[in-house]
Amino acid sequence: MIDPHGLRARARVLAAVRRWFEDHGYLEVLTPTLVPSPAMEEHLFPVAAADGYLRTSPEFALKRVVAAGLHRVYEIGSCFRDRERGGWHGREFTMVEWYRAGADLGDLMDETEQIVAAAAEALGRPAPTWRRTTVRDLFLEVVGVDLAEASASDLSPVDEGWDDAFFRRWVEDVEPRLEGAVFVEDWPASQSALARVRPGPWPVARRFEAFLDGVELCNAFLELTDPVEQRRRFAMANAARAQAGEHPHPTDEALIEAVGRMPTTAGNALGLDRLVAALEGWPGIAPGRVEHPAWARED
């Protein structure tokens, strides 16, 4: 169903976000949608196309751009994730992704606040007031469990791995109670993907996610710049995929090489469809998108 009001709201946000990046010295880059190597994360399922894949995010290409010396870049475009369909998920969706050399996660939280405020202003809505917390504090607060000491069976009644048990509690108890605008930092190291890890008694991934009234808006990394560690993580993800009966993915050698040349960089990937929907208070992303009715969903 096509919703003219929804499409106007989306266009206003798109223009405001682009203007923010222009005003802050970011270069807009359009990288290929069709790529030879997809994301490696265990729970991302790329759409196969031609002799490659449709990108699940522009991350690998943008990192090669940063390594080539362009230190503030952004891209807005379609990304594709198979097996993700629902009120807040489309197999095709619009990503806003940006990288800034020399920045840390605190800088990216500030920028995220500004971008969300600019989008809110474009919609004539008040900018949200943000709270910053950690995954561990949230679990203590909501579930009453210290993640640093919890085993999988402390987290889930089902016999499953630690990360699945963690996400079951997250999905059932934590995320539904995230009210307002919240940054959640310091995720379990096992979910670090392409982020640096801070070692310690409970090592954590140097990344944050932002939530607006329980809707996950973005995922930011303090980027890994160690090619050896990057290769090891890709190998682990492929091993996990093989164990789950899925095909391994080809490793992006150009990306691994670029990671080694990249300065300290922080990057953030934000779902534009969700940003518009969460600010407008819609029940899902549909009003801002032009979906074919043949693929409509009821949830």
CB-wise, 121 or 209, nearer to another protein? 209
| CB neighbour list of residue 46: distance below 8 Å, 6 or more residues apart | 38, 39, 53, 54, 55, 56, 80, 81, 82, 249
CB-wise, 172 or 253, nearer to another protein? 172
Element (H, E) at 28: strand 27-28
| CB neighbour list of residue 140: distance below 8 Å, 6 or more residues apart | 146
**Least distance to another protein from the beta carbon of 226, Å?**
19
Contacts 24+ apart (CB under 8 A), 291-299: 291/1, 291/90, 293/1, 295/85, 296/1, 297/85, 297/86, 297/87, 299/86, 299/87
**Least distance to another protein from the beta carbon of 293, Å?**
17
**Least distance to another protein from the beta carbon of 68, Å?**
27
Chain residues in the site for another protein (CB under 8 A): 41, 43, 83-89, 158, 160, 163-164, 166-168, 170-172, 175, 187, 191, 193, 209, 216, 219, 297-299
Reading the block at residue 150, the tokens are 């919890």
CB-wise, 48 or 158, nearer to another protein? 158
Q: Specify the 3-state DSSP secondary structure of 233.
A: helix
CB-wise, 87 or 106, nearer to another protein? 87
Q: Which among 119, 51, 54, 115 is positioned nearest to 90, based on CA atoms? A: 54
Whole-number Å distance between alpha carbons of 56 and 95: 9
**Least distance to another protein from the beta carbon of 232, Å?**
18
**Least distance to another protein from the beta carbon of 19, Å?**
26
**Least distance to another protein from the beta carbon of 243, Å?**
13
Q: Specify the 3-state DSSP secondary structure of 264.
A: coil
CB-wise, 67 or 195, nearer to another protein? 195
Q: Specify the 3-state DSSP secondary structure of 158.
A: coil
**Least distance to another protein from the beta carbon of 216, Å?**
6
CB-wise, 5 or 85, nearer to another protein? 85
**Least distance to another protein from the beta carbon of 5, Å?**
24
CB-wise, 106 or 214, nearer to another protein? 214
180 backbone φψ class: left, alpha, beta (φ>0; ψ -120 to 50): left
The strand pairing partners of 198, in sequence order, are 204
Whole-number Å distance between alpha carbons of 75 and 95: 8
- Per the CB < 8 A criterion, the answer to whether 170 and 143 are in contact is no
CB-wise, 71 or 219, nearer to another protein? 219
Per-residue buried b or exposed e for 20-51, using 16+ beta carbons within 10 Å of the residue's own CB: bbeeeebeebebeeebebbbbbbbbbbbeeee
